[in-house]
């Protein structure tokens, strides 16, 4: 079974330190996620090219929830359905809030607004040939600077 | 120069879940609005239809669908789609035609028949460039997931409780009890809400609005036409403002169905959040402020979202909505009743009809005809609404 991203070009698949792939405007420097190749979103900029760029792996929780009902297709829900958490995380440097599922081993009761998170990869679903990967948020491993610093 | 237009008539089909042809509901609403206005269908010069995207071609061309259903008269039409804000965009279309002098009197109409359960993306096939398709596929982010993110933020940042959210439902269920157009007419207790199943934590089934069938219509005209028709414009409800603003870059609050906000790293965020700017646009156009309001109809897709709206339309400061609710100010009999109709909580959402229904309710309120739910002495009201993909709407109605 081959591991492939469930969507092309949104994140790197390095299993140890995956990163979101955004786009940056070469003219005004603004950033955008999900990535795209053209048309800068800044209304005061007329650049028609955007360049791929890697985004911060860490950020802080803007909000979160836990979904208790199986979504309709095109979501591929586990059977029986298992609730999963979703978090909106504000990236450390980009001023972008990115929505993602939360790693399956983490429940919403472990989260709070402002908590530091980092990007991981998880399996979204599998079929006969492929394991489809998606980026997920997980509580960040404590870094040297924040060790023991409960927020 | 006054930019008022007159609301000559309002009509609705009750909200429910029957799965019938949406045009059947629309016809009932249209005939009621025409009768209320005292205007014959054959005298209507323009139809602004609110589109439904879940009912095939007739839904995409709602203006002509209803013109044909009422009987072709050669009337000019438009069909509008702006997600949940569709009805207000249709009203704005009619208003612009009237104020430009292209027509004197218009019918604004929206009707829907909705499937059961969660809204799923419209249309089949893999659409990897469509954020509405992708948010279901990659995240399983249903509409209640987005509502829940806003609700949780209120809890963690402002100290809102599940009971606060439940109290919104309790209030709205009381308001809607005597509204003949409401689908759910049952008084709910806090216990009912907090014991209903969790849909998307912290929101429970009774915190979230259902999807409904329903229809609403308005007959609107120039003030001159109204005066000629009735001999006077005294006592008529008027549209004072329609705001249909889109966000300003960077939009820094995550909006359904997006995966991410804009970046605030290079361009500073605008003075007002998008939701604040929706009502602000209406206040500016009408030349009034929140202190002038007697009543408001806001889009309570969830109980917690009603609290967000209190702040977005300026009834209180940021983080103060729970205190305003607890004070009783937003219940009928309070300082500024919100959702006297019962809101989406009692209606469920019939997308292209809902923003029109909000204006119908204000029309009945400011003309003293909201039987069983009348806000005493109401003269000025506002609606507020936000739909997917940057569609906001806010309408100010006054006597």
E strands, B150-302, where? 198-201, 203-204, 213-221, 237-243, 295-298
Query: Alpha-carbon distance A75 to B137, whole Å?
Result: 4
Give the minimum alpha-carbon distance from B283 to chain A in angstroms, rounded to a whole number: 25
Give the minimum alpha-carbon distance from B179 to chain A in angstroms, rounded to a whole number: 31
A4 in contact with chain B, both atoms CB, cutoff 8 A = no
For range B379-385, the mean pLDDT: 98
Residues 6+ apart with CB under 8 A from A5: A11, A13, A132, A133, A134
Q: Are B209 and B302 spatial neighbours (Cβ–Cβ below 8 Å)?
A: yes
Instruction: Identify the sign of the CA torsion A55, A57, A63, A66.
Output: positive
Alpha helices in B177-221 (DSSP H): 190-194
For range B86-95, the mean pLDDT: 98
For residue range A9-24, what is the model confidence (pLDDT) as tens digits?
A: 999 999 889 999 999 9
B-chain CB neighbours of A71 within 8 Å are: 118, 136, 140-142
Interchain proximity B263–A68, CB inside 8 Å: no
Confidence of residue A143 (pLDDT cuts 50, 70, 90): low
Residue B385 pairs in a beta bridge with: B393
For residue range B142-201, what is the model confidence (pLDDT) as tens digits?
A: 999 999 999 999 999 999 999 999 999 999 999 999 999 999 999 999 999 999 999 999
- Per-residue tokens: B61: 């061309």
Q: State whether ipTM is beyond 0.90.
A: yes
Q: Please, what is the end-to-end C-alpha distance for chain A in angstroms?
A: 42
| CA contacts within 13 A on the Cβ side of B275 | 24
> Looking at the partner chain, which of B145, B152, B263 has a beta carbon nearest the beta carbon of A67?
B145
B-chain CB neighbours of A122 within 8 Å are: none
> What are the C-alpha distances in Å from B153 to residues A54, B82, B181, B354?
28, 27, 33, 26
Residues 6+ apart with CB under 8 A from B262: A32, A41, A96, B249, B250, B251, B252
Among the residue ranges B131-135, B202-206, B266-270, the one predicted with the least confidence is: B131-135
Q: Are B243 and B392 spatial neighbours (Cβ–Cβ below 8 Å)?
A: yes
Residue A150 has pLDDT above 60, yes or no: no
Q: Are A100 and A137 spatial neighbours (Cβ–Cβ below 8 Å)?
A: yes
H or E stretch at A66: strand A58-67
Interchain proximity B149–A30, CB inside 8 Å: no
Confidence of residue B226 (pLDDT cuts 50, 70, 90): very high
Confidence of residue B132 (pLDDT cuts 50, 70, 90): confident
Q: Give which of A99, A100, A123 to mutate to test B binding, by max B Cβ within 10 Å.
A: A99
**Cα nearest neighbour of B144 on chain A:** A67
How large is the greatest C-alpha to C-alpha distance in chain B, in angstroms? 60
* Mean confidence (pLDDT) of chain B: 96
Residue B270 has pLDDT above 90, yes or no: yes
For residue range A35-46, what is the model confidence (pLDDT) as tens digits?
A: 999 999 999 999
**How crowded is residue B7: how many other Cβ atoms within 10 Å of its Cβ?**
27
Residue B300: burial class (beta carbons within 10 Å; 0-12, 13-18, 19+) = buried
- Per-residue tokens: A104: 């399956």
Strand, coil or helix: B369: coil
Q: Are B217 and B30 spatial neighbours (Cβ–Cβ below 8 Å)?
A: yes
- Per-residue tokens: B148: 């829940």
Give the minimum alpha-carbon distance from A80 to chain B in angstroms, rounded to a whole number: 15
For range B360-373, the mean pLDDT: 98
**Which residues 97-116 in chain A show a CB within 8 A of chain B?**
97-101, 108, 112-114
Confidence of residue B229 (pLDDT cuts 50, 70, 90): very high
Strand, coil or helix: B27: helix
Greater confidence (B297 vs A143) lies with B297
**Which residues 121-140 in chain A show a CB within 8 A of chain B?**
124, 134
Give the minimum alpha-carbon distance from B94 to chain A in angstroms, rounded to a whole number: 29
For range B332-354, the mean pLDDT: 97
Amino acid B64: pLDDT: 98
Confidence of residue B1 (pLDDT cuts 50, 70, 90): low
- Per-residue tokens: B354: 């809902």
Nearest to B187 by CA among B203, B163, B198, B171: B171
A-chain CB neighbours of B262 within 8 Å are: 32, 41, 96
Give the minimum alpha-carbon distance from A105 to chain B in angstroms, rounded to a whole number: 16
- Per-residue tokens: A117: 């998170």
For residue range B12-21, what is the model confidence (pLDDT) as tens digits?
A: 999 999 999 9
Residue B12: burial class (beta carbons within 10 Å; 0-12, 13-18, 19+) = buried
Q: Give which of A62, A74, A119 to mutate to test B binding, by max B Cβ within 10 Å.
A: A74
Amino acid B186: pLDDT: 97
Q: Are B379 and B236 spatial neighbours (Cβ–Cβ below 8 Å)?
A: no
B-chain CB neighbours of A115 within 8 Å are: none
For residue range B301-328, what is the model confidence (pLDDT) as tens digits?
A: 999 999 999 999 999 999 999 999 999 9
DSSP string, B234-284: TT-EEEEEEE-PPP-SS--S--TT-SBPPP-SSSPPPSS-HHHHHHHHHHH
Give the minimum alpha-carbon distance from B151 to chain A in angstroms, rounded to a whole number: 9
A71 in contact with chain B, both atoms CB, cutoff 8 A = yes
H or E stretch at A120: strand A116-126
- Per-residue tokens: B220: 């609107």
Interchain proximity A32–B263, CB inside 8 Å: yes
DSSP A140: P
What is the phi/psi pair of residue A52, to 5°?
Answer: -60, 145
DSSP B139: I
Amino acid B127: pLDDT: 84
For range B119-133, the mean pLDDT: 80
Interchain proximity B201–A73, CB inside 8 Å: no
Amino acid A149: pLDDT: 39
């Amino acid at each position: 079974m081959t591991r492939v991203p469930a969507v092309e070009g949104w994140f790197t698949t390095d299993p140890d330190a995956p990163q979101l792939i955004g786009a940056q405007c070469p003219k005004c420097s603004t950033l955008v996620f999900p990535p795209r190749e053209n048309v800068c979103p800044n209304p005061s900029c007329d650049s028609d090219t955007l360049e791929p760029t890697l985004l911060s792996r860490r950020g802080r929780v803007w909000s979160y929830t836990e979904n208790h009902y199986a979504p309709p297709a095109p979501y591929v829900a586990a059977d029986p359905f298992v609730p999963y958490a979703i978090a909106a995380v504000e990236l450390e440097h980009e001023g972008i809030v990115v929505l993602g599922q939360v790693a399956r081993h983490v429940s919403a009761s472990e989260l709070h607004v402002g908590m530091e998170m980092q990007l991981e990869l998880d399996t979204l679903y599998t079929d006969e040939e492929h394991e489809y990967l998606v980026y997920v948020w997980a509580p960040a491993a404590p870094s040297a600077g924040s060790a023991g610093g409960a927020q | 120069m006054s930019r008022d237009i007159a609301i000559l008539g309002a009509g609705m089909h009750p909200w429910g879940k029957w799965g019938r042809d949406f045009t059947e509901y629309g016809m009932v609403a249209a005939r009621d609005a025409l009768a209320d206005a005292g205007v014959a269908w054959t005298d209507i010069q323009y139809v602004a239809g609110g589109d439904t995207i879940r009912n095939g071609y007739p839904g995409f061309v709602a203006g002509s669908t209803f013109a044909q259903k009422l009987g072709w008269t050669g009337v000019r039409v438009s069909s509008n789609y702006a997600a949940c804000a569709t009805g207000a965009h249709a009203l704005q279309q009619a208003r612009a035609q009237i104020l430009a002098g292209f027509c004197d009197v218009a019918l604004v109409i929206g009707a829907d028949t909705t499937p059961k359960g969660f809204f799923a993306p419209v249309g089949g096939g893999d659409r990897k460039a469509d954020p509405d398709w992708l948010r279901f596929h990659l995240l399983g982010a249903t509409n209640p997931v987005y509502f829940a993110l806003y609700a949780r933020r209120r809890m963690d940042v402002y100290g809102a409780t599940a009971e606060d959210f439940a109290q919104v439902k309790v209030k709205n269920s009381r308001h809607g009890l005597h509204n003949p157009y409401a689908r759910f007419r049952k008084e709910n207790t806090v216990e009912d809400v907090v014991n209903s199943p969790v849909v998307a934590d912290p929101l429970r089934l009774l915190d979230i609005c259902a999807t409904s069938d329903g229809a609403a219509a308005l007959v609107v005209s120039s003030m001159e036409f109204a005066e000629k028709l009735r001999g006077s414009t005294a006592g008529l409800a008027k549209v004072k403002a329609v705001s249909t603003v889109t966000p300003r870059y960077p939009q820094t609050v995550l909006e359904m169905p997006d995966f991410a906000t804009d970046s605030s790293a290079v361009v500073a965020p605008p003075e007002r959040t998008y939701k604040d700017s929706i009502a602000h646009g209406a206040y500016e156009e009408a030349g009034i402020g929140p202190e002038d309001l007697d009543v408001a109809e806001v889009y309570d897709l969830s109980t917690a979202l009603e609290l967000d709206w209190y702040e977005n339309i300026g009834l209180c400061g940021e983080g103060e909505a729970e205190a305003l609710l607890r004070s009783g100010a937003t219940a009928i009999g309070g300082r500024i009743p919100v959702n006297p109709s019962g809101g989406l909580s009692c209606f469920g959402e019939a997308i292209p009809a809902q923003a029109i229904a909000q204006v119908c309710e204000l029309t009945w309120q400011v003309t003293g005809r909201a039987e069983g739910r009348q806000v005493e002495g109401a003269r000025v009201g506002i609606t507020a609404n936000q739909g997917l993909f940057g569609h906001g709407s806010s309408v100010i109605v006054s006597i």
